[in-house]
Every structure is written in structure tokens, then in C-alpha cells.
Amino acid sequence: MKKYLVCCLILIGIAACSTRDHRELPNDILTDKTLIGSWKLDNYKVSGVTKGYYRGFQFEGTVSSFGKNYQMFFTFHHDHRLELKGRFTMVTTSTTNNITQKLERDVQIINGFSNQATWEIQSNSIYIHSKEGIYEIPYTLHESGEVELNFPIHQINDVNHIEVRTQGIQTVELVKIGAY
């Protein structure tokens, strides 16, 4: 009987280890030491909705973007400066009043990040301090070492003298390429 009890306890222990939520693992916590260094942009996407007014009429639509031709690099320095170099191609599709438009352009900056910014880690977020404001960017650290940043977008843009408000989620995935 004791053998069966011991076997059951071992099996329960093995099962508990194999089904444990990966968020509980200690290496899922991003530290300054982990973040400091150079990272390459590996994936970029945006999903959101747009609203605006034109000649007294309200309009609504959707917007989505994805990146390609990634040659953009983020360097998180020891002194908490953030440096961006390079560019990538952003492909944006927007639909308003059943009209779809597609725009493809090279970009050198991502909303919320700039070369004049500093960074700090608090809890499960990276805070970016720039001249535009302070951005709280929640992160997920994957087992592969890739960092995924997902944060809300609340923008007001002037498009051909029309105020367009965009709300959505921006996802930035970074892969570390070297220590600083």
C-alpha cells in the first residue's frame, strides 16, 4: 500500500511540474541586466479602430498594420538611455465607409519610443520616459528570450486637415542580438 501511495505522489508531482504555468518561472521576469544590450525588431503589428469628423459627419473605421524588412535595432544602455537605429517597412490597411486604403512606407520610429527617451522596469512593465510623455508598456518574456511589448495606442492625427482618433493595441517583438 505504501508503494502505491509513493507512486501516486510521484506521479502527481511530475504532472504538476509538467503543467505548471510558464509565468511562474523565475526567468519570466525581466531585469535591468536582462534588458541591457542590443535588440532587433522581429515583429510589429497594430490593430485598432479610428473615429473622426468630416464636414459635420462622424465616421468610423478599422486600421491594422504589420511590419516587414526589419532593420531596426533598440539599445537599452546601462545609464537607462534608449537608442534606436535603422528602419523597417510598415504596411497599413484602413477601412472607412467600406473604402479600404493601403499604405506602405519605411519608418524610423515607433510610437512611444525615441532616441531622447530613458527606460526603467517596474513590475511587469517597461516605462519609457520621452519628451512626448511617459509610456507604460507591459511585457511578456518568452522562453526563447524574445520580449513582446503590448501597449494601447491613443492617438490623434491630422490627416488632410481632418482630425482622426485611433485606439488600438501595438505589439512590438524584440530578439536580443548582443550584450552591451
> Using the 8-state DSSP alphabet, how is residue 26 labeled?
G
d(CA 164, CA 103): 16
DSSP class per residue in 149-176? EEEEEEEEEEETTEEEEEEEEEEEEEEE
Q: What is the mean pLDDT of residues 15-30?
A: 46
Contact 123, 117 (CB under 8 A): no
Q: With contact defined as beta carbons under 8 Å apart, do 84 and 101 qualify?
A: no
| Edge-first strand listing for the sheet containing 37-54 | 99-107, 82-96, 57-76, 37-54, 162-178, 147-159, 133-141, 125-130, 118-122
Helix (H) or strand (E) holding 105: strand 99-107
What pLDDT score does 54 carry? 82
**Predicted confidence band of residue 168 (pLDDT cuts 50, 70, 90):** very high
**Stated pTM of the model:** 0.76
Q: Tell me the pLDDT band of 143, cut-offs 50, 70 and 90.
A: confident
**Mean pLDDT estimate for the chain:** 82
Q: What is the pLDDT of residue 21?
A: 37
171 neighbors 43 (Cβ within 8 angstroms):
yes
Instruction: Tell me the per-residue pLDDT of 56-81, one tens digit each, with 9 for 90 and over.
Output: 888 899 999 999 999 999 999 999 99
**Residue 120 CB coordination number (10 Å):** 13
pLDDT over 80 at 26, yes or no: no
Contact status, residue 93 vs residue 66, Cβ threshold 8 Å? no
Backbone torsions φ then ψ of 14, nearest 5 degrees: -65, -45
Residue 83 pLDDT greater than 50, yes or no: yes
Instruction: Work out the average pLDDT over 71-99.
Output: 94
